[in-house]
Every structure is written in structure tokens, then in C-alpha cells.
Amino acid sequence: MKKITVILFPVLFFVLFNHIEAIAQCKQQMVYDCATNTKDAIYLRDFNTKLKKSHPDEMSGTKWTVVLNKGTRYRFNLCTPEGNQDVLLTLYDSQHPEATAPYGSTKERDSFDFICKKSGMYYVSIRFKDEGEKKKTCAVGILSFVGKNQ
């Protein structure tokens, strides 16, 4: 009887709790859908993150470093489950703080183009916007190559 209990308990655990969806990061299907929705651009990289409620003095989200080349047009897309409007993708460099967002952000739309005027390291962050109630969610940012500017 003890053997049956030892075998049955883990099986029942996985059957009963299998329907709970882990939101550690967005599912790979969402990354694929976002990457193929870049319209006339070539996928280069994705930024996959989870976002959760945070304390007022704490920032939720993730920041990545990317190297961009002078004279190249890049496109940044942001995808969230069910079009969540509380998330913001921001591009900036070490000279300009993230809060000023001098190179672009997805504040008004889901994507923006960036023409790189100086080769170097840039930063991409995906975070909640300041206003509004923040729910736990995930987000995917996509970096794509659009073309060379002469």
C-alpha cells in the first residue's frame, strides 16, 4: 500500500497542477509571433522578461546591453499578452538616463525605428509605465534590422 501511495501522489500532483501556467517568461510561441510581426525587417534578437508588482522605490523589469552600428536602421517591437498597455520598451545609452528615453520608446505605439548615428553600446529596458495598476505579466521585445542608411 505504501508503494502505491508513493507512486500515486506525484502523478496526482502533476495531473492536478499541470493546468497552472508558469509565467517565468513569455512562452516561445509569443516570441515567435512577435518576431514574425516585424514587417520588412530581419529578426536579430529578442528580449524576454517577466514583470511583477514592485514596491514604489523598486523597479520591476529587465535591462539588456546591445551593440548597434552607425548608419543602420533598427526596429524595436514590444509584445505583451493581450496587448497590455502598461509596459514600456526604452532605448538609451550611458550618456542619457533611462528616464529621459532620448532614442525612443514604445509609449505611444508597439514599435519604433531607430537610425544609429554613432556605433556603440546601447541599453534596452522593458519596464512598467509609472502610472496605473501593475499586474504580473510578461513582455517580449524584438530587435530587427531594417536596412542601411547612406
pLDDT tens digits for range 40-54? 899 999 999 888 776
CATH number of 24-148: 2.60.120.380
Tell me the mean pLDDT in the region 125-142. Answer: 79
Residue 64 has pLDDT above 70, yes or no: yes
Task: Report the alpha-carbon distance of residue 47 to residue 72 in Å, rounded.
Answer: 20
- Residue pointed to by grid coordinates 514600456: 88
Give percent helix, percent strand, percent coil of the chain, each to the nearest 5: 20, 40, 40
Local confidence band at 6 (pLDDT 50, 70, 90 cut-offs): low
Contact 113, 55 (CB under 8 A): no
- pTM to 2 decimals? 0.74
Share the mean pLDDT of the chain. Answer: 79
